[in-house]
Amino acid sequence: MLRKKRRVRTHCNLHICIENTYQLYTGGLIIVHASYGKLSVEQSTMNNDDEKNPYVVDVTMPVQFFVENSQLHLPPTTKSGLAGFYDPCPGEEKFLEVIYLFKNKLHRVVVADTQPLRAPLQGSAFFIFICIWF
């Protein structure tokens, strides 16, 4: 069973790597980081270690699977019911933070648990310059 999970995870990582390479080349939407749970709306979790906060879960990979044609659309329902998500803090107010690359600019969007999310959004850029090393 563990071997099967690793094989599925490796396949998913390979799919995302191939898709991200294409999206990077075309200036499309790439999910850099996504966190779900009891978050501070003002402060980004991108440089924080989600494993140290039991009320926050890293959902970067599940969110990347929702990207289609360089568009991210999440429904106006609780995100804990989406594939790859779970509720890290039952009964608490939750947010979803998504940091993404679009047209070589880094953007950040934070939505409440039951709000819809659409990306890319104009005006959500928070860095002007990024450097990508290969």
- Tell me whether residue 120 is in a domain: yes
- Strand pairing class (95-102; 30-37): antiparallel
How large is the average pLDDT for residues 54-77? 92
120, 92, 116, 90: which is closest to 108 by C-alpha?
120
Write down the pLDDT at residue 130.
Answer: 40
Domain interval for residue 32: 2-127
Asked, for residue 133, whether it belongs to a domain, the answer is no
83 within some domain: yes
If one counts the domains in the chain, the total is 1
**Structure tokens belonging to residue 27:** 């200036």
Whether 102 has a pLDDT exceeding 60, the answer reads yes
SS3 per residue for the chain: CHHHHHHHHHHHHHHHHHHHHHHHHHCCCEEEEEEEECCCCCCCCCCCCHHHCCCEEECHHHHHHCEECCEEEECCCCHHHCCCCCCCCCCCCCEEEEEEEECCEEEEEEEECCCCEEECCCCCEEECCCCCCC
| pLDDT tens-digit series, residues 104-115 | 889 999 999 999
Res 95 pLDDT > 80: yes
Q: Is the pTM of this model over 0.85?
A: no
134 occurs within a structural domain:
no
Average pLDDT, the chain: 76
- Residue 103's pLDDT is what? 87
> What Rg, from alpha-carbon coordinates, does the chain have?
15
pLDDT at 43: 61
What confidence tier does 134 reach under pLDDT thresholds 50, 70, 90? very low
55, two tokens = 């009320």
